[in-house]
Amino acid sequence: MSISSNDELTGMQKVSEAVALTLKAMREHCRVGMSAKELDDFGGDMLAKLGAVSAPKLTYDFPGHTCISVNNEVAHGIPSADKIFREGDLVNIDVSAELDGFWADNGGSFVLGEDINGHTALVDASKQILQKALSQIKGGVKIADIGKLIETQAAKHGFKVIKNLAGHGVGRSLHEAPHEILNCYDKFNKTRFRKNSVVAIETFISTQSTYANEGADTWGLIGNKGGYVAQHEHTILVTDGEPVILTKNNGIWDF
């Protein structure tokens, strides 16, 4: 969406704060031995207390309030009761919601407990690359150039990107134009970021895979060549300078 009034800005700030605080609280609440369903129920309760409704449940009838992906799951993981968190797991939580007709999206990956499986470098790279990408986004910048930046930075860190998952516009629905804010360079995409538009920017940084495929449960996505993926995401307002990070209070850069 494009922000054209103070009421719209206030609406986006309110829903963005709801998803940001829920994501932060879920990460802090996550414990070894807990099931993904327990964590998801905690997140769903918090969204409800904040007046928000789960976006994936509302839009796609997703079997959970939030997407919780663990280890080799790339995205859209079902928060099931038999998914039990273990020491050193690579956990990704993606929280999106609707509140008073406005929608926002954010997510982040982290290592649970001690990093016995060596995922910290991947997680740190994803966070740093998102920071760098956001610092370059303003009205008039080509979307393809941000994809090129993300892909180039991933390679410098020794990683790859998932090429068929993307950031997107958000605001009056969960997914809006521009729909393809890719993590890689697309020479055919001539679209530019527009001042006052709201977009969700996310990294998908990978150790081995370059594409995400549908898993056995039709929801969770798995990398085409295995390995692990870290994702970090903010909903932002594009300006003619530094963007306004609407979900800044999710603390994803602090984990």
Give the residue ranges of the annotated binding site for a divalent metal cation: 94, 105, 168, 202, 233
State the amino acid at position 55 in one-letter form: A
- Whole-number Å distance between alpha carbons of 66 and 119: 22
C-alpha distance from residue 101 to each of 36, 197, 239, 246 (Å): 28, 16, 23, 16
Closest CA to 204 of 163, 172, 176: 163
Bridge pairing between strands 160-161 and 229-237: unpaired
Annotated binding site for substrate: 76, 175
Give the separation between CA 41 and CA 100, rounded to whole angstroms: 22
**Binding site, annotated residues:** 76, 94, 105, 168, 175, 202, 233
Contact 159, 210 (CB under 8 A): no
Query: Which amino acid makes up residue 78?
Result: I
